[in-house]
Structure 1
Amino acid sequence: MLIDNIEIICPAVYPKDAYSSAEVFGSMIWLWSKFDYYSETALGEASELILATITSKNFALFCQDGQPVGYVNWAWLDKDQAEKCKLKQLSYRQLIDCQEKGEDKQLWILSWFCLSEKSNHFTMYRLLNKVIFKGIKVHFSYHKSAEGSLSRFYTKQC
């Protein structure tokens, strides 16, 4: 899907749009390499997590002029899973596996990767609100550090 010169690959929302899993994988690995915390992840672990994300189809990859600028992935959690997520009792890999949408489930953003230019953040935020998550209540958390101190939880109706 092309919107405002941004190519969006989002199989959960646009299942008929063709895309290359290999290109998505390469784009996501490249984005990980741009962030200090993630660039230190072992390639095997990064590959496992990114391949699981691609398999889940619960992601949106944003590219401009053929260059990836960011991606978001999410999971569908029931109340028990959401509580365990807040308490950090589920691993990131376990969260990725929560793929199935359902009436009793809430959408939780798991990761937000975006190159540092403010215009990229604004564009991704706008497209997520108006296109990808339109009409959906979205839950997410903010963790200030890798150790998890200062966790805050938010809900936004898109």
Structure 2
Amino acid sequence: MMQFEGIDITAPAMFPHDSWNRAETLGAITWLWLRTSPYREAPLSELDKYVLPVLDNGQFALFTEQGRVFGYLSWAAFNQETEAQYLQSDNVLHIPANWQSGNRIWLIDWFAPFGDSLRMKTLARRYLFPRSQAHSLYHKTQHGKPKIMRFTGE
């Protein structure tokens, strides 16, 4: 776990020499999952598809301040083919190897149920992806069709 601006960030893929506890991390992510719509309505078996592969490959960041977890994000590094498939269906996420198939960064899940999205975005741009471009699918559009969002590091 690394500390930046008073925030502890657990991100094994970014800080591989830092220790972290898998069970505690799964518990924290599950706790956030259950407080984040629409995930809280999903069956817990979905954790097997969307969270356990992330714990295996370390492509996540868990944000904690003074012992209180407040945010989580996960990302995949797709190749061009997997990226094209992802834009059609998130079924590509059910194959663990797809999460690390290339160098195109896609933010997959973003939980900030207590209003800390802007703070997470700033920290992610500054410390997790400072020299990278990342993409995400924004699902809350007026027309119901996901929109591709792009982020660049600071």
Aligned to 2:117: 121
Residue 82 of structure 1 deviates from its aligned partner by 1.0
1:83-94 to structure 2, matched below 5 A, reads 83-88=84-89, 90-94=91-95
Residue 48 of structure 1 deviates from its aligned partner by 4.8
Residue 91 of structure 1 deviates from its aligned partner by 4.2
1:1-158 to structure 2, matched below 5 A, reads 1-88=2-89, 90-94=91-95, 97-100=97-100, 102=102, 105-117=103-115, 120-144=116-140, 149-158=144-153
Residue 47 of structure 1 deviates from its aligned partner by 4.2
In structure 2, do the counterparts of structure 1 residues 78 and 37 end up closer, same or farther at CA, with 3 Å as the change threshold? same
Q: 1: distance between equivalents of 2:123 and 2:101?
A: 21
RMSD in angstroms over aligned alpha carbons?
2.0
Deviations 1:38-72 (A, max 9, x none): 11222233245322211121001001111110111
Residues 8 and 60 in structure 1, CA contact (< 8 A), matched pair in contact too: yes
Residue 89 of structure 1 deviates from its aligned partner by 6.0
* TM-score scaled by length of structure 2: 0.88
In structure 2, do the counterparts of structure 1 residues 4 and 101 end up closer, same or farther at CA, with 3 Å as the change threshold? farther
| Dislocated runs of 4+, deviation >6 Å | none
Match of 1:98, as an amino acid?
N
Q: State the percentage of identical aligned residues.
A: 25
* TM-score scaled by length of structure 1: 0.85
